[in-house]
Structures are given as structure tokens and as C-alpha cells.
Structure 1
Amino acid sequence: MRTDEQIQTKIEELKAIAATPSFRKVSFFGDDNEAAIEAQVEVLEGRLTVDDVDEREEIGDFTEHQYHSAYDAANWLADDASTDPVAGWDGLH
């Protein structure tokens, strides 16, 4: 599990990306990037697990784009270094 400091740093980085004037709020495919970042922040703030994210997707709380972003954040929380939630936004801000 990540430390509180690591989690807070990722939250701040994600919020900074979303606040960047050049951030693409909607993807080329019409996906809501801003909502996807909000889902990641929600996962990090709530310390949600992959199972929690799966449950939220099953009841319709997340679009597919939000789900994949939230899933990456939950995996990162579980110490999966290959799913850095910030790195997924490279090139979109």
C-alpha cells in the first residue's frame, strides 16, 4: 500500500493536469477525460480497491473510460508500479 504522502502527491498531480489550460477535457473518441481524472482522485482519496472499482462499474457509477482510469489508480494503490495514474495522461496536457 502506498503512503499517505505518495497518495497526496498523485492527487495533486492529477488535479494539476486537469487544471492545465491545454488539457483535453474530451478525448478524440468523445470520452470525458475530466471525469476520468475525477474518478482516479476519488479512488485515491477513498483508498478504493480494485474490487471497489469493479463494484462501482457494475452498478453503473463509471463509464468505461472512468472505469479504466479508476482501475489504474486502484492498482497503483496496491503497489503496481506499471499503472501510474499520472503517466496515463502524458501527451494530453
Structure 2
Amino acid sequence: MKANRPTFNQVADELARLKAVLPRVPKFSGFGDNNHAAIEAQIKVLEDHMSRDDVHDCFGEDAVLFDFSQNTLDCALTALDWMTGDQAADEGLISAGWEAIAK
């Protein structure tokens, strides 16, 4: 079952949470993934109301503006799925995972 599409205010609240958690999350994961780049990608998706094509153009393998990272692309797609209501109903806010590892 899919989640409901968030309201404008819910998207604004999630943007605020992501921006607040960004400086408290370690820059790199134990796997070497750039957590900050992933959060910044999620912020961009929500701020720019990106489409799936936009996300792939911006963060995919052929992206010009950003170095490709599968983790960053996956996180951007997670934000897109949350924003469009395409995630599973039992999945929570995208910021919750980052808050769990924040200092």
C-alpha cells in the first residue's frame, strides 16, 4: 500500500528537518558514501519539485553537474518517492534515517 502524497506544509517541514540534520550527520558513512551529498540531493529534489527524469538527469550516471554516486542517486529517488507518495505506507519521513545517525 502506498503512502499519501504529502501536503505543501509537510514538504516544507521535511525540508527544514533535512537542513537541520545535515550538519549533525557524519560526512561519510562507514562504506565511504558521502552522506552530505545524499542529504543535499534530497533537499534539491524537494525544493525543486523534481520529476523522476529530473532526478536521473541531475544525479544519474550521465549527470553533468554532480559526480555520480549510486548512494546519492538512491537517496534522491527516495526523496522523490516520498514527495510523490510512491513509497510504502509503512515508510516514515526521509529525515528519520538521518536523525538516527546524527551526532
Q: Alpha-carbon deviation of 1:64?
A: 1.1
Larger Rg: 2
The residue aligned with 1:39 is 41
Q: Alpha-carbon deviation of 1:52?
A: 1.9
1:59 to 2:62 alignment: yes
Q: In 1, distance between residues paired with 2:71 and 2:92?
A: 15
How many residue pairs were aligned?
91
Q: 1:17 aligns with which of 21, 24, 40?
A: 21
1:68 to 2:69 alignment: no
Which amino acid counterpart does residue 73 of structure 1 have in structure 2?
A
1:85 to 2:89 alignment: no
Q: Give the TM-score taking structure 2 as reference length.
A: 0.76
Q: Gaps spanning 5+ residues in structure 1: where?
A: none
Q: In 2, distance between residues paired with 1:73 and 1:90?
A: 15
Which moved further from structure 2: 78-87 or 5-14? 78-87
Q: In 1, distance between residues paired with 2:13 and 2:100?
A: 20
Contact 1:40–1:73 under 8 Å retained in 2? yes
Q: Gaps spanning 5+ residues in structure 2: where?
A: none
Q: In 2, distance between residues paired with 1:87 and 1:6?
A: 14
1:5-48 per-residue CA deviation (whole Å, 9 max, x = no partner) reads 1111001101111122xx21111111110111000000000011
Q: Alpha-carbon deviation of 1:90?
A: 4.3
Q: How many percent of aligned residue pairs carry the same amino acid?
A: 35
Q: Give the TM-score taking structure 1 as reference length.
A: 0.83
Which amino acid counterpart does residue 89 of structure 1 have in structure 2?
W
